[in-house]
Amino acid sequence: MVKSLPLAQRVTQLHPSPTMAIDSKAKALIAQGKDVVNFGAGEPDFDTPENIRLAAVQAINHGHTRYTAVGGIEALKGAISERIFADTGLRYAPDEILVSVGAKHSLYNAVMALVGPGDGVLLPIPYWVTYPEQIALAEGVVQFVSIKPEHEGELRPEDLSQAMTNASRGLILNSPSNPSGAVIRPSVLKQIAQVAMDQDLWVISDEIYNRLVYDDTVHASIASFEGMRERTVLINGVSKSYAMTGWRIGYAAGPKHIIKAMSSLQSQSTSNPTTIAQYAALEALTGPQEAVDVMRREFDRRRRYIVGRVNQIAGLEAATPQGAFYVWVNMASWKNRQVGGRSIYDADDLALAWLELANVAVVPGSGFGMPDYFRMSYATSLERIETGLDRMETLLESAE
Ligand SMILES: Cc1ncc(COP(=O)(O)O)c(C=O)c1O
């Protein structure tokens, strides 16, 4: 038998994304012909708007099929600059912007450019599953920051002091949050900015869901507060706002020297993001914007329904999310009980019971740092949401 060759330590320590794990399990069941309601998806269920699709076809037909500059075409950088100006009031020059292969890649470049061995990175809980893994790849040290339950997922400046040490170098912020949907209010964000300046921290601000906010919620970027533009790398992309997850276009905006370092990394790894997708993203950002609002309104309708229903189910509790397309549900009351003949100790157990006994997929919170919670995505039709919740409720009602 051939002995397998040893792998580098960095990959043996890597955890595959748990959100993808449940999604692939659900997809495997669907492939077997099972009618699974999938609340696991982290992507809009809408098609990419037609004008964007046509722009890609046109790009191919016009011969935009070669390499571009590593950091993206100038026209797209210009469109990104305008978008950021509209969102934050900040002006970024082309050499302060880098276009990458999805926001995840933008984050990866930023983490690799900023985090060195032993550097502490403050990370509020719950966190998006990818951040701790990227920090570990950079040999940094994750410094988890607990948020008080009564603050419903909103980070407060005083939470940071609990986790901060002399090794702290930076903070990763994600507002609106995946998985909680929480949005940090501008007044609170300003105080967090003050802590970052006082402690000389850089901030990676993942704002991928900034256009998906509800009610009268205002999203602000931490970069927009005085003194913060110099220490913030703003991350965004077209995946969520324009239903373009598969196109893989994300971007970073920040201080020139950081963007230059990130660009060097990209030049030796992926080179430019797909040329055709860049032209599609250009149309997304500069073309008609109605589709963004149509999707947002539909998400909002589903959000209201799902939160209302979840809170009517015995033992489940969820705050009303102000952004993104997720509901973050506390299942602690179901711990140490039996559901469908199975012992439930955490949300992993409950998620597996729902998947295997009720054909419903939710994502357990362990991967996000909170094992008593699970995430439900409402990027699925209202009708399917209703069916899924009925099934979840029925299984719990059958519990001893
Ligand atoms: C918080 C957050 N940041 C970044 C991303 C990655 O986005 P992209 O598909 O553009 O890589 C996601 C996708 O799920 C996300 O939820």
Compute the distance from residue 107 Cα to the ligand 1 centre, in Å: 9
Sign of the dihedral through C-alpha 110, 111, 112, 113: positive
Residue 71 CB less than 6 A away from ligand 1 = no
Compute the distance from residue 206 Cα to the ligand 1 centre, in Å: 8
Taking the CA of residue 237 as reference, the ligand 1 atom at the shortest distance is: 10
Specify the residue with its C-alpha closest to ligand 1, atom 7: 103
Q: What domains are there in the chain, each with its CATH number?
A: 9-47+291-397 (3.90.1150.10), 51-286 (3.40.640.10)
Residue 100 CB less than 6 A away from ligand 1 = no
For residue 286, what pLDDT band results from cuts at 50, 70 and 90? very high
Residue 120 CB less than 6 A away from ligand 1 = no
Question: Does the pLDDT at position 2 exceed 80?
Answer: no
pLDDT at 274: 98
pLDDT at 19: 64
- Give the contacts of 258 (CB within 8 A, at least 6 positions apart): 110, 113, 114, 233
Question: Does the pLDDT at position 394 exceed 90?
Answer: yes
Long-range CB pairs of 227-231 (<8 Å, 24+ gap) are: 227/193, 227/197, 228/193, 228/196, 228/197, 228/203, 229/90, 229/255, 230/255, 231/196, 231/197, 231/201, 231/202, 231/203, 231/255
Taking the CA of residue 238 as reference, the ligand 1 atom at the shortest distance is: 10
- For residues 99 and 260, the answer to whether their CB atoms sit within 8 Å is no
For residue 400, what pLDDT band results from cuts at 50, 70 and 90? low
Average pLDDT of the chain, as a whole number? 95
Question: Does the pLDDT at position 20 exceed 80?
Answer: no
Question: Does the pLDDT at position 277 exceed 80?
Answer: yes
Global pTM?
0.96
* Nearest-angstrom CA–CA distance, 361 and 99: 33
Residue 37 CB less than 6 A away from ligand 1 = no
Specify the residue with its C-alpha closest to ligand 1, atom 16: 178
* Nearest-angstrom CA–CA distance, 41 and 379: 7
Give, in order, the Cα–Cα distances in Å from 335 to each of 280, 298, 371: 47, 33, 11
Specify the residue with its C-alpha closest to ligand 1, atom 14: 42
Q: What tens digit of pLDDT does each residue of 211-244 get?
A: 999 999 999 999 999 999 999 999 999 999 999 9
Could you please report the per-residue DSSP string of 2-69? PPPPPPPHHHHTPPPPHHHHHHHHHHHHHHTT---EE----S-SSPPPHHHHHHHHHHHHTT--S---
Q: Rounded to 5 degrees, what are φ and ψ at 7?
A: -100, 160
CA angle 33, 34, 40 (to 5 degrees): 120
Pocket test for ligand 1, best of 104, 172, 270 (most atoms within 8 A of CB): 104
Taking the CA of residue 107 as reference, the ligand 1 atom at the shortest distance is: 4
Residue 72 CB less than 6 A away from ligand 1 = no
Pocket test for ligand 1, best of 105, 128, 247, 270 (most atoms within 8 A of CB): 128
Q: What tens digit of pLDDT does each residue of 320-355 get?
A: 999 999 999 999 999 999 999 999 999 999 999 999
How far, rounded to the nearest angstrom, does the alpha carbon of residue 130 sit from its chain's CA centroid?
9
Compute the distance from residue 233 Cα to the ligand 1 centre, in Å: 15
pLDDT at 26: 85
Compute the distance from residue 176 Cα to the ligand 1 centre, in Å: 12
Pocket test for ligand 1, best of 45, 178, 375 (most atoms within 8 A of CB): 178
Taking the CA of residue 43 as reference, the ligand 1 atom at the shortest distance is: 14
Residue 42 CB less than 6 A away from ligand 1 = yes
For residue 18, what pLDDT band results from cuts at 50, 70 and 90? low
**Residue 46: CB atoms within 10 Å:** 14
Residue 128 CB less than 6 A away from ligand 1 = yes
Q: What tens digit of pLDDT does each residue of 41-97 get?
A: 888 999 999 999 999 999 999 999 999 999 999 999 999 999 999 999 999 999 999
Residue 208 CB less than 6 A away from ligand 1 = yes
Compute the distance from residue 254 Cα to the ligand 1 centre, in Å: 18
Taking the CA of residue 104 as reference, the ligand 1 atom at the shortest distance is: 11
Work out the burial of residue 276: count CB atoms within 10 Å of its CB; fewer than 13 is exposed, 13-18 middle, 19 or more buried: middle
Q: What tens digit of pLDDT does each residue of 91-135 get?
A: 999 999 999 999 999 999 999 999 999 999 999 999 999 999 999
